[in-house]
Chain A
């Protein structure tokens, strides 16, 4: 029976340890919760901004980075206090539905069309609309995130403007349902084209470490601009939402000082995001 008692003691100690390690009694400091997109997070911008935010305002921010569709869904459900996204049409609807308030422009970067270095579709340097139409006409693979992300929405818009129809089931349209980097890797594998945000492309390019991969084939068009806006979750719909912190954040990120910080953020030595908040007097 002695070993029974020892075992029981051990099990009790184990249980106490598991309990001690588990976060039961926890005083939580107020924290701002943000839903944002994988392209903002994966570039490292948010990691760069978080300590600046803490220093300037004392606000601790936690964020989940998912596709824009999911981020806005979290905003509608009140699971977060603020959203930072880049899909103007979905954001318009978000605001129109009363899910968000105090929408402000923050920054932009741009999309680039990438493809194999030998450019089988022959579209290098062409305007984006013509390039998309040519890819479809020639049946070259176009690899899409197809995940309701801001990038996906931009891609669908470009395809529509290029007059490309009925591509959902087309054999050349590859829908990965995944994040930007995964999608680029798949495009690389398939020797196909993809619409990517410049930031993720820079990261992909840096990861190649000199090995051959996809290159930019079309860039700079007006339609390729990618606008990021921030919206606070409507406190009337979600009274528990940390609206005051959200407003402080919005004021902070649109202030001229922080807008300069955004411009100073470099990836592989290149500026990624271009601040474009409308500066209000006195900020």
Chain B
């Protein structure tokens, strides 16, 4: 029980002293999740829009698939991607294994279904008159899509934050694809796994608190933006 209290105090010491290893772990985590979110949003928003906006045969099937992928276990994703990016795999020559880029592939697979599913819901939930109004105003194609996405922005923000929460907290994929290499691919979650495996539970708790602090800071700054941008 005392390791939880110890861990709490250790987390304050870690953040205050910002020792080199901890700093590297935090930066690696931010770089990885930043890269992943870029692709998750870049691919997920258009696909989510398309899934929500258009009617096509198999639409319900795709929707069900996207929702089912929300339950993908992280280590399974890690294994599947490993099969592709290992030297023996088809993408072996790209040297993605044990790099942040390789880890990002796994995280994109984990985060994409969340953004696609939630965005589709947001678009479907929009007032139908919006589409007609936009069309009478002369909007079409990309402009229509962007404006519709903008209208559903709060749900989409929730989708992005949920997706971010999933990828920053996952360990199965990051461990398999990154290898937890010190100074290079060690993220907060893989470091926690290592330290608890070595028996240093207090450090595990401390790093966990650091992760929550990052998430908290992100959420606070985004809710700030929400309030400023909300009224338009």
Q: Which residue of B lies closest to A31 (CB)?
A: B184
Main secondary structure of the interface of A (DSSP, over half): helix
Partner of B34, one of A22, A63, A203: A22
Question: A78: CB under 8 A from chain B?
Answer: yes
Q: Is the CB of A203 within 8 A of B198?
A: yes
Q: Sort chain A's interface into a size bin.
A: 20 to 34
Contact across chains for B35 and A18 when beta carbons are under 8 A apart: yes
Assess A22 versus B87: contact at CB under 8 Å? Given A3-B228, A15-B38, A62-B181.
no
Per a CB cutoff under 8 Å, which of A1, A6, A23, A178 touches B100? A23
A39-92 CB contacts (< 8 Å) to partner B:
42, 47, 62-65, 77-79
Q: List B contacts of A22 (CB < 8 A).
A: 31, 34-35, 38, 100, 104
**A118 contacts across to B, CB distance below 8 A:** none
Task: Please determine whether A7 and B225 come into contact, CB atoms closer than 8 angstroms.
Answer: yes
| A63: min CB distance to chain B, Å | 7
A22-B100, A178-B197 in contact; A238/B87 too (CB < 8 A)?
A: yes
B98 A62 Cβ-Cβ under 8 A: yes
Tell yes or no: A222 within 8 A of B by CB: no
Chain B 92-132 interface 0/1 with A at a Cβ cutoff of 8 Å (1 = within): 11000111110010000000000000000000000000000
Type the 1/0 row for A150-162, where 1 means its CB is closer than 8 Å to any CB of B.
0000000000000
Closest residue of B by beta carbon distance from A17:
B34
Number of interface residues of B (CB under 8 A): 33
Contact B86 A4 (CB under 8 A): no
Q: Name the one of A47, A79, A181, A204 contacting B98, with C-beta atoms under 8 angstroms.
A: A79
A19-B38, A79-B87 given as contacts; is B30 within 8 A of A4 (CB)?
A: no
Q: Told that A64-B180, A65-B180, A79-B86 touch, could you supply 20 new A-B pairs with CB distance under 8 A?
A: A4-B232, A6-B228, A7-B229, A17-B34, A18-B38, A19-B35, A21-B30, A21-B35, A22-B35, A22-B38, A23-B99, A23-B100, A62-B98, A77-B86, A78-B87, A79-B98, A181-B197, A203-B198, A203-B199, A204-B199
22 A-B residue pairings within 8 Å (CB atoms) = A1-B232, A4-B150, A6-B228, A7-B225, A18-B35, A19-B35, A21-B27, A21-B34, A22-B35, A23-B99, A47-B182, A62-B181, A63-B181, A78-B87, A78-B88, A79-B87, A178-B197, A179-B197, A181-B197, A181-B198, A207-B199, A238-B87
